Amino acid sequence: MIKTKHKPKPCTAKCKLNDNTIGYKTRDKTEMGGKGALTPLYQTLQSASTRKDSDSSSSGRIIWLHFGVNSGASRFAIEHQAVNEATFRCPDEMGWKPQKEPIIPADGGISRVRETSLPVEEITKALAKKGFEVMTSDDAGRFVCNYVYYHSLRFAEQNGTKSLFVHVPLFLTIDEETQMKFATSLLEVLASLCQ
């Protein structure tokens, strides 16, 4: 677990990019753990789907964008897929430490893969052109990041939305200001896909 000097605060916000309104919701990382994360995760995912259904002007696509820290990374990684396997090398925030368990047993075994429907290679190339050290990845790990991404991809598939997970390095590796610029550029790239 990575400790920071300041505890992140949950917030919601909306921003407008290229005439597309992008809403986002962040969660305090201490709320996120494997099974303990499911209720708030599904409440958040469902809330946007409900708004989409009730707001006819919301013809744009909903894209769920998740960020997670990879402490061993030296660059950003756009994750192409998640695997139906929970194998936690250490307990999550809630103390859960599954070993080779399917995330969603109804989906079959631990080798089942769900892929984002977003053009990962195109997104990666656009970000690289903006000067960021970024790569595509087919391995979101088997810890909480993969767990959340797998659920999000499944929900997106069932509800006509999109999902994307991005691994970021530590601020010691790529400073916070650069990471914020990366996040802004990523939102711009995603907004251009919604046109």
Q: CB–CB of 14/21 below 8 Å? A: yes
Structure confidence at residue 178 (pLDDT): 98
- DSSP three-state, residue 61: coil
- Distance between CA 152 and CA 162 in Å, rounded? 9
- Distance between CA 121 and CA 136 in Å, rounded? 7
Other CB atoms within 10 Å distance of the CB of residue 180: 10
Name the packing angle between helices 176-193 and 120-129 (round to 10°): 130
pLDDT at 4 over 90: no
Query: Under CATH, what is the fold of the domain 11-193?
Result: Aminopeptidase (3.40.630)
pLDDT at 16 over 50: no
pLDDT at 3 over 60: no
- Distance between CA 151 and CA 140 in Å, rounded? 13
Q: What are phi and psi of 141, to 5 degrees?
A: 85, -165
